[in-house]
Amino acid sequence: MTGERNSTTVTKFILLGFSEFPRLTIVLFSVFLGIYLMTVSWNVSLITLIRMDSHLCTPMYFFLSNLSFLDICYVSTIAPKMLSDFLKKNKFISFMGCTVQCFFFSSLGLTECCLLAAMAYDRYAAICNPLLYTTIMSPTLCVQMVAGSWITGFLGSSIQLCALLQLHFCGPNVINSFFCDLPKLIILSCSDIFFFQVLISVLTVIFGLVSVLVIMVSYGFIVATILKITSAEGRSKAFNTCASHLTAVTLFFGSGIFVYMFPNSSDSLRQNKLATVLYTIIIPLLNPLIYSLRNKAIKDALNRWKKRIFSWCY
């Protein structure tokens, strides 16, 4: 114990980022900058459209606008620092900056798990109980579900943060990632991380498995209801109402499972980093597209606003 206290305390970490591609630095900077700008602009546009169009004032689009806001926050915890590191020779981040980034990234990730589960329940209510949908998904319940997702996510991350601050870091201080990823950070600790690993496992079960379970049960009832629909057109319409959400869920949880459930062996390190890029950078970009491309209501809303803008201009 005395030796641990007398050892050097790490005050900053080195983020390796994409150092394995030194010749592609400018290219990667340009690509990720473009992705970040498109992510923010597309999600802001979707939020604006939902807020301004009265036809989209339904629980489904209320949840979708909150998901878009969440995605903006989510990618903004990673992208600005990552982009600035492309232009630096020494890619340092302070210990406090690293813990803050871990806290917000974890908070937003846990919040998204809860929000995706809430959206699955919304689709269950819409398809399985269409006559009672507006009664079940009241404005009060929708606000409570969204607020509960945020509060629960930040509460879970606060527990992680308190445990993280109890760990001692004395070196090495090199993180083989483009941000302070919690699993890659704790393995650098000089302290016994058994309790922390148990805590992470418990939180993973609570947030990950419970969210997936809610989603699977909801879609189990949805599939059973769709199979009872006699007309092919009715089945297609019912399926289209939840296909976008199911796609987003598969991408988010699938890439997360690949990163956190498989070991970071040297053979899979590059694939692991690509999967990390997918769920931290690419998914927030894809979500507004996934929910818009096959969504007739959003396409109709866009057409209405195009006509209004055209009439104002001429």
Measure the CA–CA gap between 187 and 193, rounded to whole angstroms: 8
Ranges of each domain in the chain: 2-302
pLDDT number for residue 5: 45
Buried residues in 192-213 as b, exposed as e (16+ CB within 10 A): ebeebeebbeebbeebbeebbe
Measure the CA–CA gap between 119 and 254, rounded to whole angstroms: 18
pLDDT number for residue 261: 66
pLDDT number for residue 296: 80
CATH number of 2-302: 1.20.1070.10
Query: Can you tell me whether residue 162 is helix, strand or coil?
Result: helix
Q: Kindly report the pTM of this predicted structure.
A: 0.90
pLDDT number for residue 194: 87
Q: In the chain, count H helices and then E strands.
A: 14, 3
Residue stretches of the chain with pLDDT short of 50: 1-6, 263, 265-267
pLDDT number for residue 35: 96
- pLDDT tens readout for residues 289-303: 898 877 888 888 877
Measure the CA–CA gap between 55 and 265, rounded to whole angstroms: 50
Query: Mean pLDDT in the chain?
Result: 87
- pLDDT tens readout for residues 67-85: 999 999 999 999 999 999 9
